[in-house]
Chains A and B, each alone.
Chain A
Amino acid sequence: MHEWESHTGEAQLHVVADTEEEVFGEAVDALGRLVELDRRGEPARRQISLQAPDRASLLVELLGELVFLADTEGFVGDRAEIRLEGDRLEARIDGRLTRVDPLVKAATYHDLRFERSGEVWDARVVLDV
């Protein structure tokens, strides 16, 4: 699950999931719902390969890639298949080309978190809007 937490200036995303992969998938869904202006659109798929020193940085990288795709193509993700191997992430994202709100400028490192919390994975990232 994900929720948008209170943050005076920006948008703060909090994700809780059973697996690390699900955290990334949930973040794809959260960003897609935040920026789409239309639930319709031409179906599209994008493959993304990323590398970063830790999971939290990978989350920032993935969201940054999705912001880039929304900005340049109007692509929003609906479902993601995520594979994690060492410091690499491979994502196959099914979504749509549609009308998007150019709201999100970037994903930031501020208060960034990606950690095990009891039985679940817990992540937090602040987006500049």
Chain B
Amino acid sequence: MPESSSTFELTQIDETFWEISAPARPDMRVPARVFADGELAQAITRDESLGQLQNVATLPGVVGAALAMPDIHQGYGFPVGGVAAMELPDGVVSPGGVGYDINCGVRLLALPLTESELGDRREAFVHEIARSVPAGAGKGGGRSRDRADLERVLREGSSVLGSDDDVERTESHGCLPGADPDAVSERAKERGRGQLGTMGSGNHFVEVQRVDRVLDPAAEPFGLREGQVTVLIHSGSRGLGHQVCTDYVKLMDEAMRRYGIELPDRQLACCPASSPEGQAYLGAMAASANFAWTNRQAIADAVRQAVGSVLGRQAAAETRQVYDVAHNVAKEEEYDGRRVLVHRKGATRAFPAGSGEIPEAYRDVGQPVFIPGSMGTASYVLAGEAGSMTRSFGTTCHGAGRTLSRTAARKRIAGSDLRRELEAQGIVVRCPSPKGLAEEAPFAYKDVERVVEVVERAGLARRVARLVPLGVVKG
């Protein structure tokens, strides 16, 4: 395999856009471009993420540029925060460009009460969510599905569990077309069977929040007002999606030689989207994405039950879903008359006002996007802007982005100390693993305020509301 090299010159194009030109490496087909301000750009050069972005720029069929959002950080294969559009029908699909957690994403629920109305029931509410939403491994703890039931979830997605209103307020209506349960291995199905309604671990969470500030009139159609309580859910396709990616990375690692594809990183294993292997993966990926949307639906149902138990049935009935967005997925979209397969790995679709792909209620203001900050810091609700369609294949960032490894975070703080610090800020914390808590310490992430400011200045999305944490449940 060719050797990759991470030597490059990062050139500033405008105040929020940087480029490594294509001639930087002989195997790059297009430039590598990053949205960042000066400080973030400097921080990005400290790990291997830009070398990984250059590797993405070598993929056959890549169009325009390999792009990265300001929350970019080192991953495996693609960097986290990476975006690449492949020309259809014969550009490649790369399972590693979607990631193991297919359709990892976030869903925001808006409760019909304010923080002061929640009052001293806050701890009981967070506790009830922790009890209702398991992390899920081994014995699982999620909703068990028999074979026929699981196939329906894989084929139909959110609508298996969700109300019409919830489904309407979910990206792609919670169901990617072309889902093929037969392309999902038995091992993947076995991993997923007991995991619906489970959160997972690592950076997955359910967070109870308060709308701290409304920053744009789009908050009104989104149903958000200052002081209001919200719940943000971050999870994905669990073991089912992880196994699907594992299976297809291995398959494509073996198959790509037949297509004459050579890559600088084996983890980028890919095949033409039109090939039998590419088509099988896209069918399995869509099925996994549908599983993930149903998983977040099951978690949302559990949160509503917790609302009912602690805050009353009326509050549960009036808890509305604002939206649900995917941030690890490949989708067929059209830009400048070209059909492309947009890989988003730790990046969020951000379609602007007027798009037929977003709910009618939001069509005048743009698609909602949720940007979780790190634990203990603010999160943001954004709305997609027109610049995303011309500059980033309809995409914006997905989070704050890690800046410190998990090992380094653990060296700097003990989980018990971090728990005390968060509780001192008035944040209720439920997490079974002190080690896992320490790994997600706020200082391990970039400043979310800076990240969202960059995407706003770049014209990809604008800030609509700032949310602050009241309680967090981690897997």
A→B interface (CB under 8 Å): 4-11, 35, 37, 64, 67-68, 70-75, 97-103, 105-106, 108-112, 126, 128-129
- The 9 sampled A-B contact pairs (Cβ below 8 Å) are A6-B407, A8-B49, A8-B74, A9-B75, A68-B191, A72-B191, A72-B239, A98-B138, A128-B99
Q: Indicate the member of A4, A64, A103 with the most B CB atoms within 10 Å.
A: A103
The answer to whether A106 touches B202 (Cβ under 8 A) is no
Interface of chain B residues 75 through 106 with chain A (CB within 8 A): 75-77, 80, 96, 99-101
Q: Which of B76, B238, B436 contacts A108 (CB 8 A)?
A: B76
Q: Which of B74, B77, B96, B245 contacts A7 (CB 8 A)?
A: B74
The answer to whether A10 touches B475 (Cβ under 8 A) is no
Query: Which chain A residues lie closer than 8 Å to B253 at the CB level?
Result: 109
The answer to whether A110 touches B77 (Cβ under 8 A) is yes
Q: Which of B74, B187, B432, B475 contacts A9 (CB 8 A)?
A: B74
- A114 → B minimal CB distance (Å): 13
- B295 → A minimal CB distance (Å): 13
The answer to whether B137 touches A101 (Cβ under 8 A) is yes
Interface of chain B residues 373 through 410 with chain A (CB within 8 A): 402-408
Q: Whose C-beta in chain B lies nearest to the C-beta of A35?
A: B137
- A35 → B minimal CB distance (Å): 8
The answer to whether B202 touches A129 (Cβ under 8 A) is yes
Q: Whose C-beta in chain B lies nearest to the C-beta of A102?
A: B137
The answer to whether A128 touches B74 (Cβ under 8 A) is no
Identify which of B154-162, B221-229, B261-269, B348-356 touches chain A.
B261-269
Query: Which chain B residues lie closer than 8 Å to A74 at the CB level?
Result: 137-139
Known: A7-B74, A102-B137, A110-B267. 9 other contacts (CB 8 A): A6-B407, A8-B49, A9-B76, A71-B242, A100-B138, A102-B201, A102-B238, A105-B242, A129-B406
The answer to whether A8 touches B404 (Cβ under 8 A) is yes
Q: Whose C-beta in chain B lies nearest to the C-beta of A107?
A: B246
Answer whether residue B243 sits at the interface, using C-beta atoms and an 8 A cutoff.
Answer: yes
Answer whether residue B136 sits at the interface, using C-beta atoms and an 8 A cutoff.
Answer: yes
Answer whether residue B433 sits at the interface, using C-beta atoms and an 8 A cutoff.
Answer: yes
The answer to whether B138 touches A5 (Cβ under 8 A) is no
Interface of chain B residues 113 through 145 with chain A (CB within 8 A): 135-139
B→A interface (CB under 8 Å): 47, 49, 73-77, 80, 96, 99-101, 135-139, 187, 190-191, 198, 200-202, 238-239, 242-243, 245-246, 249, 253, 265-267, 269, 402-408, 432-433, 436, 475
Query: Which chain B residues lie closer than 8 Å to A102 at the CB level?
Result: 135-137, 198, 200-201, 238-239, 475
Query: Which chain B residues lie closer than 8 Å to A111 at the CB level?
Result: 76, 265
Q: Whose C-beta in chain A lies nearest to the C-beta of B76?
A: A110
Q: Which of A35, A75, A98, A106 contacts B242 (CB 8 A)?
A: A106
Query: Which chain B residues lie closer than 8 Å to A68 at the CB level?
Result: 187, 191, 239, 243
Given the interface contacts A68-B243, A106-B242, does A37 sit within 8 Å of B404 by beta carbon?
no
The answer to whether B100 touches A106 (Cβ under 8 A) is yes
Q: Whose C-beta in chain A lies nearest to the C-beta of B435?
A: A101
Q: Whose C-beta in chain A lies nearest to the C-beta of B240?
A: A71
- A96 → B minimal CB distance (Å): 11
Q: Whose C-beta in chain A lies nearest to the C-beta of B78?
A: A110
The answer to whether B266 touches A109 (Cβ under 8 A) is yes
Query: Which chain B residues lie closer than 8 Å to A129 at the CB level?
Result: 201-202, 406
Query: Which chain A residues lie closer than 8 Å to B73 at the CB level?
Result: 8-9
Given the interface contacts A8-B47, A37-B432, A128-B100, does A100 sit within 8 Å of B137 by beta carbon?
yes
Q: Which of B100, B191, B269 contacts A109 (CB 8 A)?
A: B269
- B237 → A minimal CB distance (Å): 10
Q: Whose C-beta in chain B lies nearest to the C-beta of A71?
A: B239
- A70 → B minimal CB distance (Å): 6
Bound-complex Cα distance A119 to B243 (A): 36
Given the interface contacts A6-B408, A109-B249, A109-B266, does A101 sit within 8 Å of B201 by beta carbon?
yes
The answer to whether B138 touches A106 (Cβ under 8 A) is no
- B240 → A minimal CB distance (Å): 10
Q: Indicate the member of B73, B77, B137, B249 with the most A CB atoms within 10 Å.
A: B137
Query: Which chain B residues lie closer than 8 Å to A108 at the CB level?
Result: 76-77, 96, 249, 267
- B56 → A minimal CB distance (Å): 13
Bound-complex Cα distance A108 to B198 (A): 24
Q: Whose C-beta in chain A lies nearest to the C-beta of B46?
A: A8
The answer to whether B74 touches A5 (Cβ under 8 A) is no
Query: Which chain A residues lie closer than 8 Å to B405 at the CB level?
Result: 6-8
Bound-complex Cα distance A103 to B100 (A): 12
Q: Whose C-beta in chain B lies nearest to the C-beta of A41?
A: B138
Q: Which of A4, A37, A72, A112 contacts B433 (CB 8 A)?
A: A37
Q: Which of B80, B135, B404, B406 contacts A101 (CB 8 A)?
A: B135
Given the interface contacts A6-B405, A8-B47, A68-B243, does A103 sit within 8 Å of B74 by beta carbon?
no
The answer to whether B191 touches A71 (Cβ under 8 A) is yes
Query: Which chain A residues lie closer than 8 Å to B190 at the CB level?
Result: 72
Bound-complex Cα distance A75 to B139 (A): 10
Query: Which chain A residues lie closer than 8 Å to B475 at the CB level?
Result: 101-102
Bound-complex Cα distance A9 to B138 (A): 24
Query: Which chain B residues lie closer than 8 Å to A70 at the CB level?
Result: 137-138
The answer to whether A10 touches B76 (Cβ under 8 A) is yes
Query: Which chain B residues lie closer than 8 Å to A6 at the CB level?
Result: 405, 407-408
Bound-complex Cα distance A24 to B320 (A): 50
The answer to whether A126 touches B49 (Cβ under 8 A) is no
Q: Whose C-beta in chain A lies nearest to the C-beta of B199?
A: A102
Query: Which chain A residues lie closer than 8 Å to B402 at the CB level?
Result: 8-9
The answer to whether B137 touches A128 (Cβ under 8 A) is no
Q: Whose C-beta in chain B lies nearest to the C-beta of A97?
A: B138
- A50 → B minimal CB distance (Å): 12
